[in-house]
Structure 1
Amino acid sequence: MTFEPQELGQSKADLAETLKTLRKRAGRTQVWLAKRTNMSQTKISNIEGGKLTPSLVDVELVLRALDAPADMVAQVSALARTANTEWQDVWSQRRTGLEKKQNELAGFEQSSTEFRYFLLSMVTGLLATPEYVRASLAAVPGDHSKAIGKKLERQAVLHDTSKRFTFILTEQAVRWPYLPSSAMAMQVDRLVSVSRLPNVRLGVIPLGGHMPNAPLNTFTVYDSRIATVETSTGAMVFRDHRDVSAYLNEFSVYEGYAVFGDEARERLSEWASGFRS
């Protein structure tokens, strides 16, 4: 499916209006539909009012209850998938303030319990030293002290033992010389330190051997409900279960290539020594 950026915002309103129109054409009330779909009347009202974006499962339940024709089912299902996808471009983020993005990520972290991070080319903020965080924003014009502070503040979530984290970093992500050598050595040391937290699994994928699957993007999966995929000009946020499942499956593949525990720490220590030498 092709997503046009302007459609991703409009599709939510279109989906709400379409579902409302279908219900009215069928001569049914929100109360009737709520009973048939095992949802609350408030939820139906919020969906039709555009206050709540329904999942594909919700949409399928509504369409089945209203006995929608097959062509309409396909059309509305496609609309629902678009409505569950969000494009966040970097220029909009800069206009609204990068700390707003940090607040959004903190919200994801607060509402989730299991996190999977695949890091293709850089270290993510939760694992970064202050120097690395500052360097990651250095090319963006303006004062980003609040965003930097929020990034570092978010790292406290790693010590919440009710949450579980799995980080997979490629060798490139670890060793890319983003900072001077001494600072890079400290960054790699931090990865070793974080890997010892009881609720963190940190793995690295060394470049060697045969790996027939090639990653294209850095991505994060929150529980089994949201996947965020980073590009050079922004990020896609997926909530459709098929998209999220696809990234969970991809993560499992790279998990099979990674080394964890003492073996990962041995590799990291070697790379840190390389920076120091």
Structure 2
Amino acid sequence: MTDALPSGSSAPTVLRIILGKRLKELRERSGLRLDGAAKALRVNHLTIRRMENAQVGLKVPYVKELLRLYGVSDAEVAEFIGMAERANRPGWWYPFRDALPDWFRAYVSLETDAEVIRVYEPHYVTGLLQTRDYARAVIGAGFPNDDEESLEHRVDLRVRRQELLEREDAPTLWVVLEETALRREVGSPAVMSAQLDRLLEVSELPNVTLRIVPLSAGPHPGTGGHVTYFRFAERELQDIVYTEVGLTSAVYLDQRPDVVTHLEALTRVSLLAAEHVPDPRTYMSNLRKEFDK
């Protein structure tokens, strides 16, 4: 995995990504090249590469044969196979797969399993904090050709994603919003008032930090566009950065120079927001009054 994660209906779970990386490490430790492992299975070397990069499911017979080829003990093989079977199970989002663009499916998987999520959002309130009415208006603008049933299906998915904030093992969520995202009227003044109420409510959660960058703050490193940073409890999996490219694609970065550059930008923008708006709750309360007029 260098500049993108696999997408499509088989968007990988974090466990599958980790097991793929372990397969690669075991192969390299055994001294085998991709073509050598492929020859033992009588498959194309691309099959091995795709398994290691979590681009396909982990076929248990293939995994067993590879682990034995790599000199793994029977006990370790049994443990690995058990994890592979769990990793191959569809994620909770599978029933919503038709509502997810291919390039966004991996995002939902990563979001579900992340320990820390940091978001910079210049245009709208980030999806994890949207009310249902706000989400409907935003999604409707993005998918203008959807019928009512399809639109509600997408909205259901967005609302369902938000359940992770209430989990016992909820991730730490750190969100930086541009002032524009809060002043852009989405839906109606009433929708915006309810959205600001939601932000005031969620900002009281112990695992959520919300910052606001006012227009008066001027240019800053985040103005390139939306960025999400994921960190995981499983230390075998490095940090991942998601950033959108135009209207129909995105990239997932995990190379250290890329991740560090984006993380430093997120930190600078967060500090800038705290300097200019030290009390986001008061700011949002005042803004809410403007929509109530």
Q: Distance between the aligned counterparts of 2:260 and 2:191, measured in 1?
A: 37
Aligned amino acid, residue 192 of structure 1: L
Query: What are structure 1's unaligned runs of at least 5 residues?
Result: 10-29, 55-95
Distance 1:151 1:212, change over 3 A: closer
Count how many residue pairs are aligned between Structure 1 and Structure 2: 206
| 1:120-269 correspondence runs (5 A) | 120-139=122-141, 140=143, 141-142=145-146, 143-162=150-169, 163-209=171-217, 211-213=219-221, 215-223=223-231, 225-234=239-248, 235-259=250-274, 263-269=279-285
Q: Distance between the aligned counterparts of 1:217 and 1:193, measured in 2?
A: 26
Percent identical:
21
Is the Cα contact below 8 Å between 2:118 and 2:229 reproduced in 1? yes
Distance 1:125 1:212, change over 3 A: closer
Is the Cα contact below 8 Å between 1:46 and 1:52 reproduced in 2? no
Aligned amino acid, residue 50 of structure 2: G
Aligned amino acid, residue 117 of structure 2: F
Distance 1:99 1:32, change over 3 A: closer
Aligned amino acid, residue 165 of structure 1: L
RMSD, aligned α-carbons: 3.3
Structure 1 stretches of 4+ with a deviation exceeding 6 A read none
Aligned-pair CA distance for 1:210: 5.1
Aligned-pair CA distance for 1:98: 2.3
Aligned amino acid, residue 34 of structure 1: R
Residue 52 of structure 1: aligned partner: 52
Is the Cα contact below 8 Å between 1:161 and 1:199 reproduced in 2? no
Query: What are structure 2's unaligned runs of at least 5 residues?
Result: 8-24, 38-44, 55-96, 232-237
Is the Cα contact below 8 Å between 2:217 and 2:272 reproduced in 1? no
Is the Cα contact below 8 Å between 1:181 and 1:275 reproduced in 2? yes
Q: Secondary structure at the match of 1:196?
A: coil
Q: Secondary structure at the match of 1:178?
A: coil
Aligned-pair CA distance for 1:149: 0.7
Higher mean C-alpha deviation, range 189-198 or range 105-114: 105-114
Q: Distance between the aligned counterparts of 2:27 and 2:126, measured in 1?
A: 47
Q: Distance between the aligned counterparts of 1:180 and 1:31, measured in 2?
A: 56
Q: Residue deviations 1:63-112, cap 9 Å, x none?
A: xxxxxxxxxxxxxxxxxxxxxxxxxxxxxxxxx73246675433212221
Q: Distance between the aligned counterparts of 2:99 and 2:26, measured in 1?
A: 42
Provide TM-score, normalisation by structure 2: 0.61
Q: Secondary structure at the match of 1:203?
A: strand
Aligned-pair CA distance for 1:209: 4.5
Is the Cα contact below 8 Å between 2:123 and 2:181 reproduced in 1? yes
Is the Cα contact below 8 Å between 1:115 and 1:221 reproduced in 2? yes
Provide TM-score, normalisation by structure 1: 0.64
Q: Secondary structure at the match of 1:115?
A: strand
Is the Cα contact below 8 Å between 2:227 and 2:242 reproduced in 1? yes
Q: Residue deviations 1:117-143, cap 9 Å, x none?
A: 101111121110101111122131222
Higher mean C-alpha deviation, range 136-145 or range 107-116: 136-145
Q: Distance between the aligned counterparts of 1:103 and 1:232, measured in 2?
A: 17
Q: Distance between the aligned counterparts of 2:199 and 2:28, measured in 1?
A: 51
Q: Distance between the aligned counterparts of 2:127 and 2:217, measured in 1?
A: 29
Higher mean C-alpha deviation, range 117-126 or range 229-238: 229-238
Aligned-pair CA distance for 1:275: 0.8
